[in-house]
Chains A and B, each alone.
Chain A
Amino acid sequence: MKKIAFILAILGFGLICLQQKSYAEKKIAHTEFSDMAIKECNSCHKSEGIAPNHNADFIRGHRVLASKTGNNCSQCHSQKMCLDCHQGGGTGDNLTQSNFGRDYKPKSHRSDFITIHPIKAQDNPQQCYRCHEAESFCNSCHSRFPKGSMRIKSHMMLGANGQRYTFAVGEHATEARRNLQSCQACHPEGDVCIQCHSSGKTRPHPRNWKSGNIKDRTNAKMCLKCHLPGTY
């Protein structure tokens, strides 16, 4: 069914292309307008039916505009515009922008972001990974903290250091399904997971688990972390 939908999508895309073969209406390059103030853009766009897109919603919404080939961002902006926020650079132009150490911070990282990031990261868990590599970035900080000093809800139930849960009482299964990324931040190798979730113990896989896909792509290296050869 999915394959059929995929083929239909391709065909539909092809049909649109053919239908538009006479493409007469070319888009206007914006390079010559790059020095204009944003409010002046309306002098053209007002009558063109183009939605204003450099407004207060830009930080949240620019991904849809920028994350595609053929975007026209480079007609006005250099890659510095992207990487100052996405990779922590800056030349001091924007006084409202603060630093985290030597790295400049995007405006979405407000006040004491280190402390509030567990809450902010819940607002669309994918957004952290637009700039940060999940495993290496989070762990480069989390690994330096002594075990027991992180306050995760499911880890606060039991144990002298508040870092132990039990199968019967603990909330870790629910928490992990909702926010597995946070587990990876402190346990990048998943060593604690394997203690209970390896072969013959509690099955961690989703219901529609396609084991062959991951086996083929990793030459079975992943499978062998929990299963004996020939048993998966």
Chain B
Amino acid sequence: MKSIWYFVGLLLITMGAIITASGLYGLMVPPAEPKVLASLHPDLWWGIFMLAFGLVFARLNRKKVVR
């Protein structure tokens, strides 16, 4: 059985990629009603962080097996 940490990595990669893409779109096409502190682009940086965290988790645990 694959380790749970591997699955956590996969989920964070998927969600991180979606949020990063959304952040990039927001950078190019700013929303009509920006949120407070929108100038910091929290979606973009947080999406990239989730993506990186997920990649590290999935990579480190891809061969780990629970018996």
Decide whether A and B are members of one complex: no
Q: Could you tell me which A residues sit within 8 Å of B by CB distance?
A: none
Q: Could you tell me which B residues sit within 8 Å of A by CB distance?
A: none
